[in-house]
């Protein structure tokens, strides 16, 4: 297994593989170098126009990489749940059923479904962070 590194992302520490941290650092340096080149070659007003347009349409690589890592960690955490936990998650978020509809399937109250989902959320949150 590769080494993990803690990076600060949006003010919060996030654990990522060293390769990902290295990739993000290289991408940050590349963006800085590009910004410097742009600044040298464009007048201030043109530069501001390009930056305001570009920031609206581009999605930073960091966001995409970290989002994918979080999704992968979440998938693994859901796979680690027992069968009933996985079913509850699938019904609520995959099939988009209400808690009342899920309660009818399991023969329990809406409140019981809510409590079970809350416990699952806590378990998933602790295993993903």
pLDDT of 27-60, one tens digit each? 888 888 877 776 665 554 544 554 455 555 556 7
Q: How confident is the model at residue 115 (pLDDT cuts 50, 70, 90)?
A: very high
Name the one residue in this structure whose structure tokens are 């809406």: 110
> 8 in helix, strand or coil?
strand
Higher pLDDT, 86 or 46: 86
Name the one residue in this structure whose structure tokens are 């809510």: 114
Same domain? 87 vs 126: yes
Q: What's the number of CA atoms in the CB half-sphere (13 Å) around residue 61?
A: 12
Same domain? 1 vs 33: yes
pLDDT of 52-85, one tens digit each? 555 555 567 777 788 888 888 888 889 999 999 9
In this structure, is the dihedral angle defined by the CA atoms of residues 75, 77, 80 and 82, taken in order, positive or negative? Answer: negative
Same domain? 57 vs 87: no
Tell me, what CATH number does 97's domain have? 1.10.10
- C-alpha 3/C-alpha 66 separation (Å) is 16
In which domain, by residue range, is 32 found?
Answer: 1-61
- Decide if 69 contacts 80 (C-beta within 8 A): no
């Amino acid at each position: 297994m590769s080494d993990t590194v803690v990076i600060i992302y949006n003010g919060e520490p996030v654990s990522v593989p060293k390769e990902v941290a290295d990739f993000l650092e290289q991408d940050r340096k590349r963006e800085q170098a590009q910004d410097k080149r742009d600044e040298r070659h464009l007048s201030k007003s043109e530069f501001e126009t390009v930056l305001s347009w570009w920031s609206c349409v581009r999605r930073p690589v960091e966001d995409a990489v970290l989002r994918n890592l979080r999704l992968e960690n979440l998938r693994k955490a859901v796979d680690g749940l027992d069968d009933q936990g996985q079913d509850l998650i699938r019904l609520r978020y995959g099939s988009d059923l209400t808690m009342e509809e899920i309660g009818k399937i399991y023969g329990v109250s809406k409140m019981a479904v809510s409590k079970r989902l809350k416990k699952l959320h806590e378990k998933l949150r602790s295993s993903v962070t």
